[in-house]
Structure 1
Amino acid sequence: MTPFLRNIFVVARRDFLAIVATPTFLLFLLAPLFMIGMGALGGFGASQLADSARGAGRIVAIAGPADVEPLRAADARLRDALPGDKPPALELRVAARDVDPVAVAQEKGADTYAVMSGPLAAPRIVEREEGSRSGAYLALLATDVLRDRAAGAVAPAAPRFENLKKGGTSIAAQQGLGLGAVFVIFLLTLLLAGQSVGMLAEEKGNKVIEILAAAVPLESVFLGKLLGLLGVAILFIAFWTAMAVGGGLIAMTQLDPGALANAGAASANAQATSAAFGVTPATGWPFFILIMLAYFIMSFLLLGAIFLGVGAQAGTVREIQMLSLPITILQVAMFSLCSGAANAPGSSVATIAQIIPFSSPMAMAARAATDDAKAVHLLALGWQAIWVALVVTLSVRLFRSGVLSGRSSWKFWERGAKAVAAGDQ
């Protein structure tokens, strides 16, 4: 091994252990668990609030004694047949002379969306909102009862349902999988590559970076730091992958063996198997997982190199944070572009996202979920590798000028010239 490579691996091992071998790394490793837990709690609370509000709503039908049961039967028949959200619960009341539908609609204790009264042939419907779905549903109930009476006692239809299936996973499901891949790469890259800024700020504050610069070439320091952070990122991904696989195996052991046997018998053909195990990417799970890891590495190297190169230009933690903000904004913009590309595969937006180097890893990961072509990913990885080399080369020069200057200055070209002159001496 050449001295240059040896220095790179020495710095990488030092940075890797400096991050991993600390108690705070455990908190960082479990950060997604806290995020998921807080998100689940918020979602559960919102769901409970929505269910509570939905349960308090009602629609009321004030009808004669002969119309109550037909309306109840029509409601039971039509409610399950309607697509989307179901109408509010139907409350039936026997008509009386002193019953005012407006007063019923304003009763406290429940949200009343619509009240129907009068004869079914010409009912009066009081709505909370004009043209509401609840009022239309009450009118549909009245029409259905009148239609049944006009036709006499008709037996309910006994249809024979046939299922028309298409082999493989649906396009919408694969697009959702591609959008999930975009989000995972974006979140992991932003979460893990940002660690380089904090480490660089700490080392510039306690002068450790100057000791490293005196011991080994700055190019080795830069590449070693980038390689060490990549090792931390891969360890992070491996930990959560093992947690997910372990959780899945534990969940399978808790299932009823009889249910598993029945599920296996019901999944005899390939379509049922695909439905039983969820969404399948167009390129297959093994290739999709490997290509996602490759695209994550490319995205991480691009963003990590930019963070190190630009972060070295700042002299204080505050300046590092200010310089990191445009990079974060750029990454969020790339995420928005790739989200649009994932929802519209094959479009011009998807093509643009796949060409732009900073969005190409995420966009190509989304393409792997909807397009079964595999050779194009080798071309994309080569294109991204070229840009990684260019960005690393430029970031090394910025890193060298920022470290050798030892102070904050926005004249990068002057600092680069001084750094080169110092190197020549």
Structure 2
Amino acid sequence: MLLPDAMTERLRAAWVIARRDFVAVVFSKSFIFFLLGPLFPLVIGFVAGSIGATVQRDLDRPVVGVALPAHEGDRLVMARDAMADKLGGLPEFVVLERLRADERFDARAVLRNGRIAAVVGGSLAAPILTGTRERVGELRGPLSLLAARAQAGGAETYPPVKVDLLATSAARERDGRVLTAQAGQVLLFLLTMLLAGMVLSNLVEEKANKIIEVLAASIPMDALFLGKLFAMLGVSLAGIAVWGTGYGVLVLAGAKSMPVLAAPAVGWPLFLTLGFLYFAMAYLLLGSIFLAIGGMANTVREVQTLSMPATMMQLVVFFLASFALARPGSWIETVSAVFPVSSPYTMLAHAARDTALWPHLVALIWQGLCVVLMIRFGARLFRRTVMKSGPARGRKAKKAITAPA
């Protein structure tokens, strides 16, 4: 365990490296081209949007609850199954309760507390459809057709469907929060993928011109790595601030803004705060991996070769987190939340869907611990590959001198 003086010295050295790298990058001409970088990942954004649409279709499967007298609900479900092939896009019908004569059923309570998108009550001769305006508009016609088919002997006329409109439902609110979670994951992925590569490029440049060897001989390697990571994180945040300001100016000038997303479960202020923290953690985790890759490589070509698996790993991590979003409460979500690199994406989606706050505290502590461990591992690996050249030649020379003639 480091003494307080030693810890202070390491932090001071890390601050010197961070300030040096931050100033060198921000006040360089290449930073202007870096700010133009988001123009290129737009294609990736479209691809991620198509993947998100697929996940959304998998999630948006409305379930219609049926609460009809006696076995009328069963006949309605059978009619739905018989007509499913002919009427594409029919939702799933589930019998909630078989009512007795004159028994009442609280459809609104079901919609507030479950995944049910709409409820069919009344009777087959006079069905009552309870749901939001959107769901009622989709289901009113098909329900009349199914009710006519389900009546004993088959009715020749379609019964009128009465409606009971709701402002919203638990299913609709859940779907809106899923869309917000999805948008947060895509934005976090795009920013991390775009910005984390700066750590590797900066390290490769200094390794090629031998500056890194001078720095490694002057300060502890873990302080050097920590300083470089936080310097590039600061540069990334500066870039995000510029992009955000530019987008705000375009919106004020009359450009079309993004669609309004449903409010996350934890509220927008806390969701944005968690988004900032999870971006920082995702960046530090991926940046520490890139630094370790730089430590294993001796040439620029080797760095480019080794960085390809890390880039592909980003895509795999994003796909894992997206798949976990469609499987809440499953072992896939648990694995995605525990695995350090995918944890920020999964936990940001969790903030959009669930109001619990303690999982985020645990996740941030776990991610921070993983950052520390990865930095120490990368520093040791880098020290062995960069600083071994002198001692290695010295040992060889010593063996050559002491070898018998």
Q: Give the TM-score normalised by structure 1.
A: 0.59
Q: Secondary structure at the match of 2:387?
A: helix
Post-superposition CA distance 1:243-278 (Å, at most 9, x none): 3334344449x99xxxxxxxxxxxxxxxxxxxx954
Counterpart Cα distance in 2 of 1:387 and 1:220? 16
- For residues 167 and 244 of structure 1, what CA distance do their matches in structure 2 show? 33
Partner SS, residue 9 of structure 1: helix
Question: What is the deviation of 1:348?
Answer: 2.3
Aligned match of 1:213: 216
Equivalent in 388, 392, 401 of residue 371 of structure 2 = 388
Aligned residue pairs total 280
Within 5 Å, which residues of 2 pair with 1:14-29?
A: 14-29=20-35
Partner of 2:313: 330
Moved segments of 4+, more than 4 Å = 37-40, 157-162
Alpha-carbon distance between aligned partners in 2 of 1:319 and 1:30, rounded to the nearest angstrom:
27
Which of 180, 185, 189 pairs up with 1:182?
A: 185
What pairs up with 1:7-406 in 2 under 5 angstroms? 7-36=13-42, 163-166=165-168, 170-251=173-254, 277-405=260-388
Per-residue CA distance 1:97-131 (angstroms, 9 max, x = gap): xxxxxxxxxxxxxxxxxxxxxxxxxxxxxxxxxxx
- Which residue identity does 1:311 align to in structure 2? G
Q: Is the 8 A contact 2:45 2:190 kept in 1?
A: no
Deviates more, 1:186-195 or 1:356-365: 186-195
CA distance in 2, matches of 1:278, 1:160: 31
Q: Deviation string for 1:275-334 (max 9, x for gaps)?
A: x95421111111111101111111111110111122122111110011112222222211
Write the distance in 2 (CA, Å) between the matches of 1:188 and 1:306. 17
Following superposition, the deviation at residue 401 of structure 1 comes to 1.6
3-state DSSP of counterpart to 2:355: coil
Q: 3-state SS of the aligned residue for 1:346?
A: coil
Task: Give the secondary-structure state (helix, strand or coil) at the position aligned to 1:163.
Answer: strand
Other structure's SS at 2:296 match: coil
Render the CA deviation track for 1:37-92: whole Å, top value 9, x for unaligned: 9988xx9xxxxxxxxxxxxxxxxxxxxxxxxxxxxxxxxxxxxxx999xxxxxxxx
Distance (whole Å) between structure 1 residues aligned to residue 161 and residue 253 of structure 2: 42
- Distance, in Å, in 2 between the alignment partners of 1:173 and 1:162 is 22
Question: Cα offset for 1:161?
Answer: 6.5
Counterpart position of 1:56: none
Q: Any unmatched runs of 5+ in structure 1?
A: 44-81, 85-150, 152-156, 256-275, 408-413, 419-425
Name the CA shift for 1:11/1:37 in 2 (closer, same or farther; >3 Å). Answer: same
> What is the SS of the residue equivalent to 1:357?
coil
Q: Indicate conservation of the 8 Å contact 1:315/1:406, yes or no.
A: no
| 1:346–1:316 distance in 2 versus 1, CA, 3 Å | same
Secondary structure (helix, strand or coil) at the match of 1:312 reads helix
Whole-Å separation in 2 of the counterparts to 1:366 and 1:38: 20
**C-alpha distance in 2, partners of 1:239/1:167?**
39
Distance in 2 between residues matched to 1:172 and 1:203, nearest whole Å: 48
TM-score (norm 2): 0.61
User: More deviation in 174-183 or 213-222?
Assistant: 213-222
Asked if the contact 1:203–1:209 (Cα under 8 Å) also holds between the matched residues in 2, the reply is: yes
For residues 134-161 of structure 1, the C-alpha deviation after alignment (integer angstroms, 9 at most, x for no partner) is xxxxxxxxxxxxxxxxx9xxxxx99986
Deviations 1:337-388 (A, max 9, x none): 1010122222222122111112111110111111121222111111212212
Larger Rg: 1
1:230, distance to aligned residue in structure 2 (A): 1.1
- The 8 Å contact of residues 312 and 398 in structure 1, kept in 2 or not, is answered as yes
